[in-house]
Amino acid sequence: MVRLSLKGYFIADLEDKPILDYYFKGRYYKKGKSYIIPGNAEVYRKILMHFPDNIIDPTCYLYPILESQNISSRTKKLYFQINKKFIEFARKKPEDITEQNVNAYLEHLKKKKRRASTIKTVYMGIRLFFEKLLGVIDLEDVELPELEEPDVDILSRKEIKSIIFNINSAKHQLIIKMAYGCGLKLSEVVNIKIKDIDFDNKLLRIRGRNKRVIPLSEDLLEEIRNYIHNYHIPEGKNSPYLFFSQKPGKPISTRSVEIMFKKSLSKAGLKVSLRFSVLRDSFIVHLIDKGYCLDTVSELTGMKESQILKKFGIRIKMVKKNRIPQLLDFSDVA
């Protein structure tokens, strides 16, 4: 039996040595009670074309997932396991899979009382492999269970614009723009240090538990430069924090930001019961509205993909990674 490991190499049993010698002589090695064949596209094709079906483990068919350049390693692992279970359920080669097989599997998961969000994640993994990577089937019309929408407050882009333009202080306005435009938590906003901003590469480095790097738009970078020049240098007393307080070496307090945010909500005619976190939640939903995938949203926010699905209950389209729209460009808002 030949199987594929999550690390991308193929593992063969000792009794498979004759066929390995014929196709991969000098290209495999022994490890314990198995043979290891380093994986690549050529090895993958040869195994599927020349090895008997009865010694090809279903995992071998999943090599395109592991070699894909547009999926994070975490998502590759998740989608690998999803499709492994599906192929074992269907007991077919990928080229023989039909939409009916997919519907039957999703129905099987429903009967096993799997959550709607879990079933949608499974669907996304199956669709990526069979439709996007292999191109053997169109799964757009597969019916999915409705997600139970949690009660999450979301601001429209028009409301975000109103909040920003009802703030007179350049410092406070930039706080809102950084929170919404980069999808930051309140604690992350107040703890931004000037050294965390890479002006040359247009990046913001977030420190702490959810370490990540967020791309910055040129417009936002220019506002940060102007703020530093006009306010931070004259008034910041050499504070390392972008949003300084009157206490030397300390950032602005979260309490001060919350009070400012409540006032800006009131001026914009919005309910003052909203928390500062609504900016981050709105960032996530607006990313999704603009076609950004779960993988990208997870990387930008530091949230686990399962948490995003559970909280927002949405279907996420698959698009290229490492892009972020200019959410602070309100030309789409009347």
Mean pLDDT per 10-residue run, the chain (334 residues)?
A: 89 93 91 92 91 89 85 85 91 87 92 85 89 81 66 88 94 96 95 96 91 94 95 91 91 94 95 94 89 85 84 53 66 74
| Per-residue model confidence (pLDDT) at position 37 | 94
The reported pLDDT for the residue numbered 157 is 92
Query: How high is the pLDDT of residue 76?
Result: 86
Q: Which helix (H) or strand (E) holds 36?
A: strand 34-37
Query: Residue 225's pLDDT is what?
Result: 96
Q: What is the pLDDT of residue 321?
A: 46
185/173 Cα distance (integer angstroms): 16
Question: How many angstroms separate the Cα of 315 from the Cα of each of 106, 126, 140, 148, 265?
Answer: 16, 14, 12, 12, 30
pLDDT value of residue 149: 54
Residues in the chain: 334
The DSSP letter of residue 239 is -
pTM of the model: 0.55
Contacts of 327 (CB under 8 A, 6+ apart): 157, 160, 180, 181, 283, 286, 287
pLDDT for the residue 38: 93
Residue 201 CB neighbour total at 10 angstroms = 9
Residue 123's H or E segment, with its range, is helix 116-127
